[in-house]
Structure 1
Amino acid sequence: MNSHTVFLYACAAAVMVTGTRLLAALTTQGDKDLPPPLALLRMWRRPVPMVSAVLVSVMAVLGLAQTVFPSMIGALERHPGGEWWRAGTALAVQSSGWFQILFNVAALAAVAPVAERRLGPWPMVLAFTVSGVVAQAVSMAGWSRHGGGDSMAICGLVGALAVSYARHGSLPALRRLVLLIPAAGLLLCLMTNNHGAGLLAGCALGVGLAAPVRQPLTA
């Protein structure tokens, strides 16, 4: 295993472990006796985060559609010499097939409602869209010219949540820990990994979007 792979896995571990701790802290806030997985499901309680519900549904339907009509992938994904608008449409298809579809839909279902309640519905959409498009554009510029998927946009939501918590979170230790997320994003960018671009774009947006909780997370 070379050093590039070691750093890549280290960054992935830092984002996933820290992101999981962050989501757990946000979803169990005010309800300490509820296990984090169940608390995460409660993010879909009433009032239902409708923008997240629409976003997750759209991505799930698009995933199903691309399995029925595989030509969608080639029509929408990024590829060398592709049109500029593919920086947007590449978010709509998962070029690695079923595993990527299932993983990304599940990740979006976990992160989006927390981000909607923490940041607000339209700031959540803004973070998702801008982070994804920026990362896709960087990919098309040379980092990874072929493919598609919304994992980079989901990384953007994690980055925005991390910055929001770093500024307004209630647990000092976690406020420091979440700084690993932008640090991992920077290292991934230095490695020309497009997920780093999504993370840093989300972190940058999070500076402007960060505010005290817009909607009680466990009311």
Structure 2
Amino acid sequence: MTLHTVILYGCAAAVVLPGVRIVQADADGRRVSPAALLRVLWRRPVPWTAAAMVAVMTAMAVVQTAAPSVVDHLQREPGAPWWRAVTALLVQTSGWVQLAFNSAALIAIAPVAQRVLGPVRMPLVFLASGVAAQAVSMAGWSPTGGGDSVAVCGLIGALSISHARHPGPGPTRLLLIPAAGLVLCVLGNNHGVGVLAGFVLGAVLAACGRPGYRPLPPPKTSVDANPPAQRPT
């Protein structure tokens, strides 16, 4: 394993691990099973914008699986028109591993991002971060490919600003996210562009007064108003 690969894996860990803590913080810091965590993240009020994004990406996964030639028409590639920087977010060019990982990441991050950033700002951050990363790639970093992981990284970058003042993930640990983004940019990896673009957009939203981190309220529990009377002993 080369030093370059080691640094890439280290940067991935510096983004993913704090990202996991951000998701857990939205579940009031509880460490629960993945199924229970998903029930917490997606319970009412349902984040419909996030649900729509997941639905679109799931539909595109089905389309590219049924008709693989779609990928060639939507991915970024040398000499492609500018709009491929947008459509490249819709296809996963590295097969089932990329499909599974990116889908899982979006399902976990999108509802958290909507509750923190808002139903309008969240998809805008996703799109702006992803397009910026795809555009840089088309300019020469990695001319061929596609995937929405760069946009998910943008959401994580934006959330690192909102969660920095919350004791859950820890401010110091969250600083690893933009630091890793910077290192990835130095290495010419487009995920770094996504992280830094999201971080900057999150900072702009915070400066404009967008409310920061608001933990999801705990689920309501039903209480029996008329508990059975205890039998005399």
State how 1:110-129 maps to structure 2 within 5 Å.
110-129=108-127
| Amino acid in structure 1 at the alignment position of 2:79 | G
CA distance change for structure 1 residues 172 and 91 in 2, over 3 Å: closer, same or farther?
Answer: closer
Aligned to 1:9: 9
Cα separation, 2, equivalents of 1:14 and 1:214: 20
Cα separation, 2, equivalents of 1:102 and 1:39: 18
Cα separation, 2, equivalents of 1:173 and 1:44: 20
1:100 offset after TM fit, Å?
1.3
| Amino acid in structure 2 at the alignment position of 1:217 | L
TM-score (norm 1): 0.92
Alpha carbons 2:26, 2:41 under 8 Å: kept: no
1:41 offset after TM fit, Å?
2.8
Aligned to 2:163: 165
1:208 offset after TM fit, Å?
1.7
More helix by percentage: 1
TM-score (norm 2): 0.87
1:88 aligns with 2:78: no
| Amino acid in structure 2 at the alignment position of 1:132 | G
Cα separation, 1, equivalents of 2:181 and 2:215: 29
Aligned to 1:19: 19
1:192 offset after TM fit, Å?
0.4
| Amino acid in structure 2 at the alignment position of 1:136 | Q
User: Unaligned regions of 5+ residues in structure 1, if any?
Assistant: none
Aligned to 2:228: none
1:94 offset after TM fit, Å?
0.6
Alpha carbons 1:28, 1:36 under 8 Å: kept: no
Report the count of equivalent residues.
214
User: Unaligned regions of 5+ residues in structure 2, if any?
Assistant: 219-233
Cα separation, 2, equivalents of 1:163 and 1:213: 8
| Amino acid in structure 1 at the alignment position of 2:18 | T
Tell me which structure has the larger Cα radius of gyration.
Answer: 2
| Amino acid in structure 2 at the alignment position of 1:170 | H
Cα separation, 2, equivalents of 1:118 and 1:140: 31
Q: Which moved more, 1:145-154 or 1:208-217?
A: 208-217
State how 1:201-216 maps to structure 2 within 5 Å.
201-210=197-206, 211-213=210-212
Alpha carbons 1:27, 1:36 under 8 Å: kept: no
1:190 aligns with 2:186: yes
Aligned to 1:103: 101
1:209 offset after TM fit, Å?
2.2
CA distance change for structure 1 residues 173 and 135 in 2, over 3 Å: closer, same or farther?
Answer: closer
CA distance change for structure 1 residues 17 and 215 in 2, over 3 Å: closer, same or farther?
Answer: closer
RMSD (CA atoms):
1.7
1:42 offset after TM fit, Å?
1.0
